[in-house]
Amino acid sequence: MTINYLLLFTPFHTIGSPAYTQYGDLPLMQLISLTGIWGLTFLISWLAPVVNEVWEHGTSRRVLRYSLLPFTLVLIGVLFYGSARLTLTPNAPVVRVAGLTPDRTLWSYLPVADIARSSALSPHAAAMMISALASRTSCCSAIDSP
């Protein structure tokens, strides 16, 4: 958990975080809206000591009360919150977005190169022109997000 947080201050940021493994579990992923990926990472990491304690000490009253019960209650609460958030949130209209990057390798992309050649613009100026046009029309590739 601490290593994941400290990686935030490096060029790698959150790469390799265990939270990314839960991308398909939407109710569980809603925890991120409250705690960021660190809350989900904590919840994932908390499971291991609970399972280990049940494995080593069995299902004694102490293990159930101080280890298994708190984890189970928190997990149920998180899943309840996530399900409620998904169910009660009104459907928003679809917003079309496009991502732009200053990567020079994209200047060789055919439309940018054609505009640059035909108009005697630099590749950078042509890319700026395309991005300006793309923001006003739906001719560019876009990602639909709710």
Q: Which of 65, 88, 111 is the last residue of a domain?
A: 88
Residues 47 and 119 in one domain: no
Q: Tokens standing for 93?
A: 């209209």
Contacts of residue 145, Cβ cutoff 8 Å, sequence gap at least 6 = 94, 95, 97
Domain that holds residue 140: 95-145
Count of domains forming the chain: 2
Same domain? 79 vs 118:
no
Looking at the structure, do residues 106 and 66 belong to the same domain, yes or no?
no
Tell me the per-residue pLDDT of 89-120, one tens digit each, with 9 for 90 and over. 888 788 887 776 665 665 555 565 565 556 55
The residue out of 40, 73, 88 marking a domain boundary is 88
User: In the chain, where do the E strands start and end?
Assistant: 95-97, 143-145
Domain boundary among 88, 111, 130: 88
Q: Model-level pTM?
A: 0.60
Task: Convert the pLDDT of each residue in 41-76 to its tens digit.
Answer: 999 999 999 999 999 998 899 999 999 999 999 999
